[in-house]
């Protein structure tokens, strides 16, 4: 794994992945696994869409509405309903295996936000959504991408610091420490074209400082990615 020149608050850590969807070239800065928080909602929806594809059916009106609330507003009740609909952690894990995620494990005891994931795996999932996928149909990809492009304004932080695009963020404070898990994954359009980004952090003293760390890391990773290989 490569290192990245970013000022990280004491006690915090991060991992950042960058991928060029045109060439498929990728780089990951930092390593380790993280509790996914609400970025797992992209995986939940991908699993739901795969199940519908397998059954040869479209999503129901209720599923579509729950998906829109889950991604667009990060609604947790909708996520829980769809989590149960895909079969919980076993269903998520099965879908992730089909999508090529090798280090992501669904949360136990019904806690989807405690799914463990890596920046590398999140890049792989984003590649299915925003580049031609051998698993998800074009219609499934378009639906997921459109929802990620329509998040509510106050959640359009994170990888959007690089440029406009489509994203899903996740965040929560640790009960034991008060420190924050803050993530952002998605596609951003910058001066060098589209980039897929997965920024995972934990240990920031506040939500605002977590967002600042995510955005600083996203910008630094894109700069490093554009430099000499």
Total-model pTM = 0.96
Q: Identify whether 3 is part of a domain.
A: no
Contact between residue 32 and residue 13 where contact means Cβ atoms under 8 Å apart:
yes
Helix (H) or strand (E) run with residue 219 in it: helix 207-226
Phi, psi (deg, nearest 5) at residue 193? 100, -170
Task: Write phi, then psi, for 130 (nearest 5 degrees).
Answer: -110, 0
Query: CATH number of the domain that 167 lies in?
Result: 3.40.710.10
Whether 31 is in a domain gets the answer: yes
83-136 tens-digit pLDDT? 999 999 999 999 999 999 999 999 999 999 999 999 999 999 999 999 999 999
| Residue 101 placed within a domain | yes
Q: Looking at the domain assignment, is residue 63 inside a domain?
A: yes
**Does residue 79 fall inside a structural domain?**
yes
Domain range for 150? 13-226
What pLDDT is stored for residue 191 in this prediction? 81
1 assigned to some structural domain: no
Cα–Cα distance between 41 and 69 in angstroms, integer? 11
> 75 by DSSP, 3-state: which?
coil
Q: Which residues of 155-194 are buried (b: 16+ CB within 10 A; e: fewer)?
A: bbbbbbbbbebbbbbbbbeeeeeebbbbbbbbbbebeeeb
The radius of gyration of the chain's CA atoms, rounded to the nearest angstrom, is 16
Under 8 Å CB-to-CB from 24, ≥6 apart: which residues?
127, 131
Residues 159-179 have pLDDT tens digits of 999 999 999 999 999 999 999
Instruction: Tell me, yes or no, whether 8 lies in a domain.
Output: no
Asked whether residue 2 is assigned to any structural domain, the reply reads: no
Give how many domains the chain has, as a whole number. Answer: 1
Task: Report the alpha-carbon distance of residue 194 to residue 1 in Å, rounded.
Answer: 22
Six-digit token pair at 19? 């991928």
């Amino acid at each position: 794994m490569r290192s990245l020149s970013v000022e990280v608050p004491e006690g915090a850590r991060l991992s950042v992945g960058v991928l060029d969807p045109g060439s498929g070239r990728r780089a990951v800065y930092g390593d380790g696994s993280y509790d996914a928080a609400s970025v797992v909602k992209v995986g939940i929806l991908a699993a739901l869409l795969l199940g519908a594809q397998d059954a040869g059916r479209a999503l129901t009106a209720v599923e579509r509405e729950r998906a829109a609330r889950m991604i667009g507003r990060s609604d947790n009740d909708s996520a829980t309903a769809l989590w149960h609909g895909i079969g919980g952690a076993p269903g998520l894990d099965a879908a992730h295996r089909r999508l090529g995620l090798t280090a992501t494990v669904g949360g136990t005891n019904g806690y989807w936000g405690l799914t463990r994931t890596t920046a590398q795996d999140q890049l792989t999932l984003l590649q299915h959504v925003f580049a031609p996928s051998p698993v998800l149909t074009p219609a499934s990809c378009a639906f997921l991408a459109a929802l990620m492009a329509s998040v509510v304004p106050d959640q359009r932080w994170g990888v959007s610091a690089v440029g406009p695009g489509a994203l899903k963020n996740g965040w929560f404070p640790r009960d034991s420490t008060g420190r924050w898990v803050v993530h952002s994954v998605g596609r951003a359009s910058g001066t060098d074209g589209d980039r897929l980004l997965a920024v995972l952090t934990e240990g920031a003293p506040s939500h605002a400082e977590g967002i600042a760390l995510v955005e600083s890391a996203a910008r630094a990773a894109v700069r490093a990615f554009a430099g000499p290989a």
